[in-house]
Amino acid sequence: MGKEPAKNPCDRARSGWKWSIATDANGIPVGWATDGANRDDSILFEPTLEAVIDRGLLFDVETLLDRGYDPSLAGCGGLVMGKGR
């Protein structure tokens, strides 16, 4: 008999890592957080921002997030978020 088909690489139950990285205006990483690959991006926003603050690198900030971020999950508090197209 033939081989069984491979698992779908888009399977939400897969193992692995998801990185959330904050960069400065020049694209240099200033803070990051990691979690399981099956986590929603919004949940990583707050730990990523906290990593920037812990490094003393948060000054005036303009936060631009894609449409996949849910402000109720992101813990944005009073931050104004500009949404991408």
The whole-number pLDDT of residue 38 equals 82
Q: State residue 6 phi and psi, 5-degree precision.
A: -70, 155
20: its two tokens: 């959330």
Tens digit of each residue's pLDDT (9 = 90 or more) over 42-79: 888 889 989 998 988 877 767 777 777 776 766 555 44
Q: What is the pTM of this model?
A: 0.63
The whole-number pLDDT of residue 65 equals 75
Tens digit of each residue's pLDDT (9 = 90 or more) over 17-42: 888 898 888 889 999 999 988 888 88
**Euclidean distance between CA atoms 76 and 6, whole angstroms:** 39
Q: Is 20 exposed, middle or buried (0-12, 13-18, 19+ CB in 10 A)?
A: buried
